[in-house]
Amino acid sequence: MFTISLCMIVRDEEESIGRCLSTVCDLVDEIIIVDTGSTDRTKEIALTYGAKLFDFTWEDDFSAARNYAFAQAKMTYIFWLDADDVLLEADRQGLAALKAMDPFDYDSVSMPYQLKVDERGEPVHSLRRNRLVRRTSNFIWHGAVHEFLAVTGKILHSEIAITHQKLKPYTDQNLQIYLKRKEKGDVFDPRDQFYFANELFDHARYEEAALQYELFLDEGLGWIEDQILACSKQAECYAYLKQPEKQIQSLTRALAIDLPRAEICCRMGAFFEEKLDFLKAIYWYRQATLLERPQSSMAKVDESAWTWLPHLQLCYCYDRIGEKRKAKIHHDMAKLYYPTHPSVLYNEAYFASLKELDAVEQSMELR
């Protein structure tokens, strides 16, 4: 059985750090907590879980803090979490089983990161991150903001999920770091260009975000999945800015980058649905239902676009053009994926009422 160092960087996380550590403390062999300036009870709570505490002067660089945390680890493997992450029971069992594997010769283990779940606990938005890495591989974190861990070698893509359960409100910390770097004249690499645009978008600075996405896309140097997401986000910017021509241009641009993604097809469908052009909307929603997921296992995924959402919208669109049989077929498909969704429940009642109406009309004809 290999040993694990849990490495975390924290600041003012008294509301969440205990919850996080309680789900993992018995599965790791040491806990490394690097504090970047807490003024609350974060350190005190961490100590109750046997953590080793280290102070680190914050310098607007998440990678620097994470690399410092990794440097303190002593065990065979390093596992990293944020304070608002947890392992649910099934994933705790999965990590325990993983730790018991013998032999275990992987350089890294990737795990799904469930950024948002619905009321059933099913993932809505998810992606993969390299979470467990061999300490002697000396992998390094890169990027001051939205940092990533560069790994090589033999990688295991596990199904042990990390669930994000944020309690603290979002701040503009990341945006301010980017703005300071821009003011200093720093040259952004493609990844920073993309994430800077995302920060502008998340803070409703849509004109600036659309321009930043354009700069990123024009260079054509970023990861394909980031390019496709940039097209989608830029289209959202133009939707907020009431510029439909540019909105559809951004969406179609994504189709030239790589094979269609269900997320883009659903946005194309929504674009035409809003214009009441139901035949075009139907075309794009149907494409979403026919696609196979891309091979890239690390991409961010909107699970709804690959499962119930296009069927739900096809139900609506077919009903609007009077093709109720097809509408019912897609309602049934959406119901298979998400039987408790409010729109699915509404449509279930709607189709039940149509049956009752048909029965009444048939009865009247018999009379």
Residues 131-147 pLDDT 10s: 999 999 999 999 999 99
CATH number belonging to domain 171-258: 1.25.40.10
Q: Which helix (H) or strand (E) holds 162?
A: strand 162-164
> In sequence order, which residues have a C-beta less than 8 Å from that of residue 322 and are 6 or more positions away?
none
Q: Is the pLDDT of residue 357 over 80?
A: no
User: Which residues belong to CATH 1.25.40.10 in the chain?
Assistant: 171-258
Distance separating alpha carbons of residues 176 and 158, to the nearest angstrom:
35
Which tokens in the block code for residue 277? 């052009």
The predicted-structure confidence for 33-57, as pLDDT tens digits, reads as follows 999 999 999 999 999 999 999 999 9
Confidence of residue 298 (pLDDT cuts 50, 70, 90): confident
Query: How open is the CA angle 330-336-339, to the nearest 5 degrees?
Result: 105
| pTM as predicted | 0.91
Question: How many CB atoms neighbour CB 139 within 10 A?
Answer: 20
Per-residue pLDDT, 356 = 74
Mean pLDDT across the stretch 226-255? 98
Distance separating alpha carbons of residues 148 and 150, to the nearest angstrom:
6
Per-residue pLDDT, 136 = 97
User: Which residues belong to CATH 3.90.550.10 in the chain?
Assistant: 4-164
| Cβ atoms of 9 and 65 closer than 8 Å | yes
Phi, psi of 20 (to 5 degrees): -60, -55
Give the mean pLDDT of the chain: 95
Distance separating alpha carbons of residues 148 and 62, to the nearest angstrom:
10
Residue written as tokens 């350089």?
Answer: 107
Per-residue pLDDT, 296 = 59
Q: Which range, of 44-48, 122-126, 286-290, 324-328, averages the lowest pLDDT?
A: 122-126
Q: Is the pLDDT of residue 366 over 50?
A: no
Distance separating alpha carbons of residues 173 and 184, to the nearest angstrom:
17
- CATH superfamily, with its number, for domain 4-164: Spore Coat Polysaccharide Biosynthesis Protein SpsA; Chain A (3.90.550.10)
Distance separating alpha carbons of residues 32 and 92, to the nearest angstrom:
19
